Amino acid sequence: MNSAVRELTYSQAIQEAMAIALESDPRVFLMGEDIGVYGGAFQVTGDLVERFGTDRVIDMPISELGGAGLAVGAAMTGMRPIFEFQFSDFATLAMEQIVNQAAKMRFMLGGEVSVPLVMRFPAGSGTGAAAQHSQSLEAWLAHVPGLKVIQPATPHDAKGLLLAAVQDPDPVMIFEHKLLYKVKGPVPEGHYTVPIGKAEIRRTGRDATIVATSIMVQKSLEAAEILQTEGIDVEIVDLRTIRPIDRETVINSVKKTTRLLCVYEAVKTLGIGAEISAMVAESEAFDYLDAPIMRLGGADSPIPYNPELEKAVVPQVPDIVAGIRNLVQGRR
C-alpha cells in the first residue's frame, strides 16, 4: 500500500474510493439519479462518468424503488452495484427492496446467494433543506437483520469504509452527513480498508465517555476542548458502524471513565443512543457507572426550514458541553 497521505475533502475521498473500486473490479458499477453528467446531487461522483463511461456510471430514472430493485437483482447475480440516493430521506421510497429483499435473500435462500450491494445516503440537517430532505434515518435500517449500517465521520474513514463495503458479501448502507462533504482530513493514497464493525477512540480521557456518530464526532471533539479548560477530561468513541456495534470498545471505555453520554443527530426517541445505553446497562460496565447514562439526540420534531430552528432541534457543541458537565457534577 502507498503510505503517502494528502488532505482531501470527505467528498473527494468518497469519489476516490469509487474510482479505485471501478478500476480494480469490473463487477462494480455506480447507479443513481443525476450521478452522470451532473455529478451527483452533492457533486460526489463528479467526473466519474467521463472517466468510466455510461455503462459503469448509470443515470437512473426518478424511481428509488425501481432503482433499488435493479441494484438488488444485479448484486444477486454477481455484480457489485453502488447505489446513490439523492437524499437519505428517499430511502423511504425503496424500503420494500432494502428491507424485504436485500436484507433477507441470503437467509431465505440458505446462504446460496449473497447480496454484495452498497447504498449511499446523504443524510442530516444543516443545509436548509427542510423536513423532507434533512432526516437521519440510520436507526431504521440498523433495526433490520441482514443489513450493515455505517456512518463515517472523517475523510479517511469515508474512503476506507466504502472500499470495505464494496468487498463485503452483504448489503451495506452508508450514511454520509451532508455537512461533512467539505471537511478536509488526511487520506492515504491507493487502496486501503477500514474494518466494518470496529469503533475508533478519537480522544482518550478519564472523566466521561462520549459515544458519538457521524458529524457529532466533530462536535464532541470541539466540546471536549472546551471541557478540558474546566479540568474535565473526556474520552470520545466514534462508533463508525452502528450495525454491527463494537461492543467491546464502548464497554471498555465506560468501565474506564464510569460515565456515558450518547450523542447523535437523529431523533432521540428510539435512536441509536437507546441501543448503546441498553447495551452498557446490560453489561459488566453497569457496575462501574458513577452516574446514570445520558442520551443527547435530536428533538421529537421534523427538521425546520428556518436556520435557527434547524440548529435548535439537533445537538450543538454547547449542548454536549452542558451534558458532560451535568454528568460529571451529578446533575440531570
The residues carrying an active-site annotation are 64, 133
d(CA 107, CA 184): 40
d(CA 11, CA 205): 30
Q: Following CA atoms 120, 124, 127, 133 in sequence, which dihedral angle do they give, to the nearest 10 degrees? A: 70
What are the start-end ranges of the E strands in 10-104? Answer: 28-32, 57-59, 80-84
Q: Which residues contact 244 (CB under 8 A, 6 or more apart)?
A: 148, 196, 197
Look at residue 42 and give its three-state secondary structure.
coil
C-alpha separations of 272 from 152, 174, 236 in Å: 15, 15, 16
d(CA 87, CA 80): 21
Q: Which residues contact 46 (CB under 8 A, 6 or more apart)?
A: 15, 39, 40
Cβ 47 vs Cβ 11: under 8 Å: no
d(CA 248, CA 150): 17
Please, is 274 exposed, middle or buried when counting C-beta atoms within 10 Å of its C-beta (0-12, 13-18, 19+)? middle
DSSP β-bridge partners for residue 186:
7
Per the document, the length of the chain is 332
For residue 124, the number of C-alpha atoms closer than 13 Å in the C-beta half-sphere is: 23
Rg of the chain over CA atoms, in angstroms? 20
H or E element in which residue 139 lies:
helix 138-142
Return the DSSP state at 60. Answer: P
